[in-house]
Amino acid sequence: MRGIILCLLIFSFLLSGCSTVQLSKDNECIGVLVHNKFEYNGIAEIGVAWARPHPGPFSWGYTEVVSGTYDWSETDKWVKKAQKHGVHTLATVFPYADWDQCLPGCEVSSSDHFANGRKQIPIKRCSPCDVDSYSDWLTKLVERYDGDGINDMPDLIIPVVNYEILNEPELSMPELTFFIGSAKEYADILNVSYKTIKQAYLFSDTNQALRV
């Protein structure tokens, strides 16, 4: 199972031509992981092109705290901070919302690194119970930051066009567990997320670059 999950761990969508702005750093491959917005000041000085917020503000329950109610304000701040310094964003999607988690045995250990005081991902981390609601949220997320001029974040300059679904889902330790479930359940999340993100961009050209 570990091998299967590792093979599926990371995929990202490189979307050229869908945004209103294309910057020179788009094709550069040097990036870093950031834990807070203030780190952008330092990484910009050394010329880093990409940053992956971790765990980051692209978590379902972080922006849809209550079903049907969306608050993008904190996520907007991350995106604006990155683009202020000319840094592109690799968004890690966590498909968890407290109000959606309905299965038993989904709560991580109290010693989990992100269980206490870190609100970006909840302590329950199983597959979404309401897949349609998850897909609806993911569509809105992609649409807000894709740079196509439709329902975009105000003053968006550098679109978010690269996504990672979960982070290290194979980890299962008391101090660090990002996903509770089987390899098949993770593959199902990956499949739904892939189709949702692709549909949200509404490609008219099937030859658009798609990095998996």
Closest C-alpha to 161, from 9, 15, 11: 15
**DSSP string spanning 15-78?**
--SSSS---GGGG---EEEESSTTHHHHHHHTT--EEEESS-S-BHHHH-SBTTB---HHHHHH
Q: State mean pLDDT over 87-92.
A: 94
Residues 22-33 pLDDT 10s: 345 556 667 899
Query: pLDDT category, 9, cuts 50, 70, 90?
Result: very low
Q: How confident is the model at residue 124 (pLDDT cuts 50, 70, 90)?
A: very high
What are the pLDDT digits (tens) for 140-197? 999 999 998 889 999 999 999 999 999 999 999 999 999 999 999 999 999 999 999 9
**pLDDT tens, position by position, 24-82:** 555 666 789 999 888 998 887 888 889 999 999 999 999 999 999 999 999 999 999 99
Residue type at position 6: L
